Amino acid sequence: MVKTVTGKVEQEAAGTAFAAPPNNYSFSDRPAKAGNPAAGTVKTITSLANPIIKDLRALALKKHRERERLFIAEGLKLVLEGLELGHKIRYLVYAEGNESGNLAEQAAARSFSAGALVIKANAKIMAAITHRDNAQNIIGVFEQQWYGLEQVLQGRAPRAYAESRPAPPGNKNAAKTVWPRLFLALDRVRDPGNLGTIIRTADAAGVSGLVLVGDTASPFALEAVRATMGSIFAVPLCRLSLPQFLQKIHNFAGQIIGTYLHGGADYRMLPYFEDGKDIMLIMGNEQQGLADSLVQACSALARIPQTGRADSLNLAVSTGIMLYEICRNRLTF
């Protein structure tokens, strides 16, 4: 993200607004310039006016994340998770003298080997990049990964839960079982914290892919990534408009189950994975629930009963309840 346009660094140091490059132009396309660090190098930066730091700070904004196809992962756990699962890291920033010690050095070495720019910084810079006072001591900037719905449904995305699973308890010598897969679609989810929590829960439940439908929060927002606790790297993500999703889901051969406040069967009574079919679970918007067109597309509707005064459940909570009920008979220790 080093700017090489003549005079640009001086302008930004004076406070000029961050200027978007053309649509077909990325920071990674910028030619090398004397004095500018290349990928696979280590640099110490102490000033907030440094153009690299300015660009990294801008990734807190959706328009810059979308344009650069990058996102920030905070903390050693998330950085190591991303590296372990083979995600492309572009920048690694860590605070000198941090308590993570050898593990941080190992992460820096792995990032360097992967071609990332490794930056030694101070606490002030770490706080500026993450937009929080109690910033983590290590930050990774990774490339976003999106998949087409066909890739996810056909198991061509990295995570495919139709692969062999251990035999059920008490039958350890039996051949491994091939499970039908579970997919999750979210209709216009707006809260990034909810979205991040759902991604984490989907990972824990073994969801094979998550589809974001319509105008949704970004899974790569700082708050969302924090809430995933590393699961952002494990669950394949797809995004579609509502018309696109309806068109593509028309050919889905499995069960399409939606949650619906105004009707539907008790969620505990539905036959899940009937005849070994895959499932697409669709959860609705926090305030409005499922769009009418999605209700019509479902083969079954489920409802979670309530007895208290609350008129609804938090979306992340209700999604967790549904996922774990669907997977009740196939989750083992």
Query: Would 1 be classed as within a structural domain?
Result: no
For residues 136 and 187, membership in a common domain is answered with: no
Query: Would 331 be classed as within a structural domain?
Result: no
Domain boundary among 102, 119, 143: 143
Query: Would 239 be classed as within a structural domain?
Result: yes
Number of domains in the chain: 2
| CATH number, position 40 | 3.30.1330.30
pLDDT digits (tens, 9 = 90+) for 251-279: 899 999 999 988 889 999 999 998 899 99
pLDDT digits (tens, 9 = 90+) for 87-144: 999 999 998 766 566 788 889 999 999 999 999 999 999 999 999 888 888 999 999 9
For residues 232 and 322, membership in a common domain is answered with: yes
In the predicted structure, residue 176 carries a pLDDT above the cut 80:
no
Token pair 């690694």 in the structure block, residue: 92
List C-alpha distances in Å: 108 to 1, 102, 130, 162, 183: 18, 10, 18, 35, 35
H or E element: which one contains 182? strand 182-187
Q: What is the mean pLDDT of the chain?
A: 84
User: Among 98-102, 198-202, 241-245, where is mean pLDDT lowest?
Assistant: 98-102
Query: Would 207 be classed as within a structural domain?
Result: yes
What one-letter code names the amino acid at 332? T
More confident residue, 312 or 116: 116
Query: Would 300 be classed as within a structural domain?
Result: yes
For residues 105 and 161, membership in a common domain is answered with: no
Distance CA 273, CA 40 (A): 47
Domain boundary among 123, 143, 163: 143
Q: Which domain holds residue 161?
A: 149-326
3-class state of residue 136 by DSSP = coil
Token pair 């083992």 in the structure block, residue: 332
For residues 182 and 162, membership in a common domain is answered with: yes
For residues 115 and 203, membership in a common domain is answered with: no
Query: Would 298 be classed as within a structural domain?
Result: yes
List C-alpha distances in Å: 330 to 301, 303, 324: 22, 22, 10
For residues 33 and 116, membership in a common domain is answered with: yes
Environment class of 294 (CB within 10 Å of its CB; exposed 0-12, middle 13-18, buried 19+)? buried
10 pLDDT tier (thresholds 50, 70, 90): very low
Domain boundary among 88, 122, 143: 143
